[in-house]
Amino acid sequence: MSGCVHIYCGNGKGKTTAATGLAVRARGNNMRVLFVQFAKAGTSGEVEMLKRIGAEVRYDNILRGWYKNLTQQQQAETAAEYKEKIATAFKEAQNWDLIIFDEIMAACSNGVVSAEYLAELIKTRPEHLEVVLTGRNPPECLIEVADYISEIKEIRHPYNKGICARKGIEL
């Protein structure tokens, strides 16, 4: 089986949900799944369920907050941590059939992760490996390596009425 690259992007709700659904489908077919989250502390509802079905989930050990609010030192520490997280996932690529990099686009957009570095790793991945990237505003170099691009468009969202993220729905 030849692996493909998926991008779930856009300003609408559902990018992580779509990636989680693909992870569930993959596990249901005995595929080995690595779910790597960026800028998330492992507290959202999908994490425990993914672990229960046998996916490996990695998330931020030290959640430092929004990138734009980080000090230069925190940005540098986050960049080093994320680069290592990505490099490790690709070094272990033979152990996985599907790797999901959840919210990687925000890390790229904010200069914390080099999109060019990620694109090069994707280009040299093992042939079998399926890769999913989620988040808003994918950089052109990642769009170029993608086989699937699904844009989720916000038409209406409760946040615009002052309703915060709800457990089990957005969290």
pLDDT, one tens digit per residue, over 109-146 is: 988 899 999 999 999 999 999 999 999 999 999 999 99
In the CATH hierarchy, which top-level class contains the domain 6-161? Answer: alpha beta
The CA-based angle 102-108-113, given to 5 degrees, is 95
pTM summary value: 0.92
The CA-based angle 145-136-39, given to 5 degrees, is 100
pLDDT, one tens digit per residue, over 48-88 is: 999 999 999 998 866 666 777 888 898 888 899 999 999 99
Q: Kindly give the pairing relationship between strand 130-134 and strand 148-151.
A: unpaired
